[in-house]
């Protein structure tokens, strides 16, 4: 059910007996049926949530979540299959309202992951086979329009050198408000930067109509880790960037002003190519990621039937088709986002002599990457004089 243009579940009081209770047992063992937990802070809503267990999962993996409520009553817009994530201070008493069709509960903080954040304002620690390493810390609040950027890195090959160079220069994802590098093992990129582990084989086959990397399973696992860690929820936008993509976050911020996120439950994502979304640069609003995460299984089932089996798509085509055709997430086109070899680029595109573009792809050597970055930066500086 969609939340837009409807009353919130806090207002659904017609014909429902309602009173509060003083009991404040914060056990996660037993969810409370026909109870709506009211707290002083409602953090966000997750539409299309399949059940209360999934709602509890989201609460468990967001350190800000102190309580949750799930609308299991069917046929009520703004309530049915909506997960309500709520903040709760340690000295705050929950106001339990009797309300039919709502299940509420508390997080089970024992359910932690191998990569954990002790609080959103403190240091991220990554478990390794030998010891724990301490990485850079990020704040727990950001201004509107902030960018959470991440890259997935192969443990061997050229990507490690590219990302180390970008980090040292403060370029690409490292010029975003917050960033994470994922891989399938802990790798030190600097003293204060280590990869977060995704337990997945990063090798995949090539095939399908476009002879592309069939990497859906890989990025399903990566997106699961992004949602599990929960840091994207502190930001307006999440940006997935390939290591060999020359990316200018400052330019993206300017472009995003022209793409306001409407007040709806499904958010927004951006399309960067007339052929459809291309994977080197993917941009999603916070709510679009929530919708993608909770609705992905439905997409898999839908396209499996449509294609009579595996559609043999890469992750970029799958997420684009899923968002657009099945989940109905609004999509904005912007042809200034990406210039790349596989999207009908203009002649001489690889000289990067265009200061209006957000990203250029691919540049797999450090020398070629640095040359493209410098060329586009120099043009921008000349233009601004």
Choose among 291, 234, 259: nearest CA to 358.
259
Pick the closest to residue 6 from 37, 40, 45 (CA basis).
45
Question: Which pLDDT score, from 0 to 100, does residue 10 have?
Answer: 39
The Cα angle at residue 272 between residues 223 and 243, in degrees rounded to 5 = 55
* Residue 334, phi then psi, degrees to nearest 5: -150, 110
Torsion sign, CA atoms 140, 200, 171, 286: negative
Mean pLDDT of 89-115: 77
d(CA 368, CA 385): 26
Query: 362 preceded by cis ω (within 30°)?
Result: yes
Mean pLDDT rounded to a whole number for the chain: 83
Of 100 and 24, the structure prediction assigns the larger pLDDT to 100
- Higher-confidence position of 375 and 43: 375
What is the pLDDT, as a whole number, of residue 314?
Answer: 86
CA 381 – CA 199 distance, rounded (Å): 42
CB 148 within 8 A of CB 178: yes
* Predicted local confidence at residue 51, as pLDDT: 86
pLDDT of 196-237, one tens digit each? 999 888 876 566 565 566 667 899 999 999 999 999 999 999
* pLDDT for residue 25 is more than 80: no
What is the percent of the chain with per-residue pLDDT over 90, rounded to a whole number? 61
Q: What is the pLDDT of residues 279-322, one digit of tens each?
A: 999 999 999 999 999 999 999 999 999 999 888 888 999 999 99
Rounded to the nearest angstrom, the gap between the alpha carbon of residue 94 and the centroid of all alpha carbons in its chain is: 30
Record the tokens describing residue 361, joined without a space.
Answer: 């792809």
The helix (run of H) or strand (run of E) holding residue 85 is: strand 83-87
Return the number of other C-beta atoms located less than 10 Å from residue 65's C-beta. Answer: 23
Q: DSSP label at 21?
A: E
* 270 strand-pairing partners: 283, 332
């Amino acid at each position: 059910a969609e939340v837009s243009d409807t009353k919130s579940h806090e207002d659904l009081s017609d014909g429902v007996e309602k009173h509060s209770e003083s009991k404040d047992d914060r056990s996660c063992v037993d969810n409370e049926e026909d109870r709506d937990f009211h707290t002083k802070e409602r953090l966000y809503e997750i539409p299309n949530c399949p059940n209360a267990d999934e709602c509890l999962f989201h609460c468990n993996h967001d350190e800000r979540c102190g309580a949750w409520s799930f609308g299991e009553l069917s046929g009520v817009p703004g309530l049915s299959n909506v997960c309500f994530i709520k903040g709760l201070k340690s000295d705050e008493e929950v106001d339990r309202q009797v309300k039919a069709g709502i299940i509420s509960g508390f997080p089970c903080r024992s359910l932690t992951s191998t990569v954990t954040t002790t609080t959103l304002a403190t240091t991220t620690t990554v478990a390794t086979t030998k010891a724990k390493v301490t990485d850079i810390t990020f704040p727990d609040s950001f201004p509107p329009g902030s960018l959470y950027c991440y890259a997935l890195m192969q443990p061997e090959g050229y990507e490690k050198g590219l990302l180390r160079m970008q980090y040292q220069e403060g370029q690409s994802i490292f010029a975003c408000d917050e960033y994470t590098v994922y891989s399938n093992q802990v790798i030190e990129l600097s003293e204060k930067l280590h990869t977060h582990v995704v337990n997945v084989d990063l090798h995949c086959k090539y095939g399908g109509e476009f002879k592309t990397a069939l990497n859906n399973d890989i990025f399903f696992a990566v997106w699961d880790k992004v949602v599990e860690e929960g840091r994207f929820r502190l930001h307006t936008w999440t940006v997935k960037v390939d290591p060999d993509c020359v990316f200018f976050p400052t330019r993206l911020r300017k472009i995003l002003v022209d793409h306001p996120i409407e007040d709806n439950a499904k958010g927004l994502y951006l399309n960067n190519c007339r052929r459809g979304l291309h994977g080197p640069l993917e941009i999603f609003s916070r709510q679009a990621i929530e919708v993608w995460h909770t609705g992905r299984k439905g997409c898999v089932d839908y396209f499996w039937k449509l294609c009579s089996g595996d559609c043999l798509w890469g992750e970029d085509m799958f997420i684009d088709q899923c968002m657009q055709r099945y989940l109905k997430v609004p999509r904005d086109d912007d042809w200034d986002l990406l210039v790349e070899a596989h999207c009908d680029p203009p002649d001489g595109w690889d000289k990067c002599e265009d200061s209006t573009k957000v990203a250029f792809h691919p540049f797999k050597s450090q020398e070629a990457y640095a040359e493209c970055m410098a060329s586009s930066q120099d043009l921008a500086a000349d233009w601004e004089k």
